[in-house]
Amino acid sequence: MFFSGFTLTTLKVNDIPWRLRSGGAGPALMLLHGRPETHVAWHAVAPAFTNRYSVICPDLHPELPPQRQAEDLLALATAMGHDRLILAGQDAGAQIACQIAALAPERVAGVIALEALPGMNHTGRDDMAYSLAQYESCWFGQLHPKPEAGAVQTPPEWQRAPDEQAGIFAPEAVADYTHMALWPQSTSSYWPQGELSLQCPLLVLWGKSGRIGGWYDPPTLWREIAHGHVSGHALDASFFLTEEAPGEVCKAFEGFLSTLP
């Protein structure tokens, strides 16, 4: 069943309505989605943890700066009765999780970053493979159909999925992504502002067939800003880890959560 045991609600924090699903009981585990999705991206992962955690899955507010979102999500957790948090985020959600952890280190017990790097400085690291992979540049040097796919807001595979991709996205999830349309009004820069410093343990996950692992060794980059224990490994997926490999994601989460006090 889709999000079995969860309640869909909207809570207002600092005059901003935050749409979220919550379920379970125990310490707070906040799951933050990435682009171009909504909180529904966690539908195959979140229910696995409600027997031990209060799982909170909010929609982000991409039109707001990361600092403001971090402040509001901390206030949201407080309003729901949680002083301490474990955070997990995919892509842009990982950046918000890190902003929260840097803003209130005394409240964050651990962070899990999926398909994310700690910053956008690629100086001395980028190469031709990296440059050709960008949607904003070198379009006509990319393999078909990337130039065309990058020119629209909604990935075309969500509208007419090829056979090999059809099973990745649940119909309920696709309906939510297209109906909510969070990202078209997002800010031009989604990276946290200023230098971040993480004090808590960090788990880094990325897709074997995705870009991040092909460009970098993600844990090495995260150790530049994370001063707690950093671990991580690749999963059998490309980018949408929670929907391509939810079982592997859950297993990785279980191992990490078992190490936290």
pLDDT given for residue 196 in this prediction: 83
- Output the 3-class SS for 188-206: CCCCCCCCCCECCCEEEEE
What domains does the chain contain, in order, with CATH numbers?
Answer: 7-120+182-257 (3.40.50.1820)
Distance CA 44, CA 151 (A): 29
Supply the pTM of this predicted model.
Answer: 0.86
The pLDDT-based confidence of 187 (bands split at 50, 70, 90) is: low
Residue among 15, 50, 37, 176 at smallest CA distance from 93 = 37
DSSP string for 14-81: TTEEEEEEEEE-SSEEEEE--TT--GGGGTTTGGGGTTTSEEEEEPP-TTS-HHHHHHHHHHHHHHTT
Average pLDDT on 27-47 reads 97
Is a pLDDT exceeding 70 seen at residue 190? Answer: no
Distance CA 249, CA 205 (A): 8
Residue among 239, 211, 236, 206 at smallest CA distance from 142 = 211
Convert the pLDDT of each residue in 121-173 to its tens digit. 555 566 666 666 655 555 556 565 555 555 545 555 555 544 444 578 999 99
Average pLDDT on 189-197 reads 65
pLDDT given for residue 212 in this prediction: 86
Average pLDDT on 201-205 reads 98
The answer to whether the bond into 36 is cis (omega within 30° of 0) is yes
Convert the pLDDT of each residue in 100-131 to its tens digit. 999 999 999 999 999 998 875 555 566 666 66
Side by side, the strands of the sheet bearing 230-235 are 7-13, 16-24, 54-58, 28-32, 85-90, 108-114, 202-207, 230-235
pLDDT given for residue 194 in this prediction: 59
